[in-house]
Structure 1
Amino acid sequence: MSEPIRARRLSEEEGRTLLRIVRRGQHGTIRVRRAVIVPAPVSGNANAAIAALVAADPDTVRDVIHAFNDRGLDALDPHWAGGRPRRITSEDEAFIVQVASTRPKTLSQPFTHWSLRKLADLHPGHVDSATR
């Protein structure tokens, strides 16, 4: 079994800020859950008990506490990165908006409204990546 997780001692200001976040609950749910996690080990709660309290994985609790020890209150706002790469460029997006906001008849097209397929047929180089 791993060592119990230890959080560093909270300053008065950090304690007040965490308490305010939890009591008001006006912040995002992730921020409130993290504000509940941070002071929990100080009062002697085990990692598994904290995880059960906030309905999170014990590894998540450990990561939040380690982040708090390193970065302080900035750890309440996770900076997730990554995700799927964009499949459409900003230029493609601008072209689509420009064409879609123009009436098809103005561009000599025989229909009354745009669809993604019609845009793709009009300019395959620009719109093709959006339809895949």
Structure 2
Amino acid sequence: MAEPVRVRRLTDQEGQRLRQIVRRGSIHAVRYRRAMMLLASGGGNGVPVIAQLVAAGEDTVRDVIHRFNEIGLACLDPRWAGGRPRLL
């Protein structure tokens, strides 16, 4: 069985920044939800619990945690691609 996905140990500055985003209720909903995911993971919660807490899929939670472990707080910003909207 695979090891559970957990956020790496947060530095003091990272922890303060995440708590600041969550406390202020950031204007950007994406940043707020991602910060919630990381704080919950740092608090010892598992992926299913975090997914239920922020109303997101478990795969999304895992992706955010993996990206944070790789690149740090830069993972909070969405990386939407530009271009023409899809036609339905």
Same fold (TM over 0.5): yes
Deviations 1:70-125 (A, max 9, x none): 11110000212266479xxxxxxxxxxxxxxxxxxxxxxxxxxxxxxxxxxxxxxx
Q: Percent identity?
A: 58
TM-score, normalization by structure 2: 0.86
Does residue 79 of structure 2 align to residue 79 of structure 1? yes
Gaps of at least 5 residues in structure 1 are 87-132
Higher relative contact order (CA 8 A, sep 6+): 2
> What is the Cα deviation at residue 6 of structure 1?
1.4
Greater radius of gyration (CA): 1
Q: Judge conservation of contact 1:21–1:27 (CA < 8 Å) in 2.
A: no
Q: CA RMSD in A?
A: 1.9
Q: Which runs of 5+ in 2 are unaligned?
A: none
Q: 1:5-44 to 2 correspondence within 5 Å?
A: 5-44=5-44
TM-score (norm 1): 0.59
Moved over 2 A (4+): 80-86
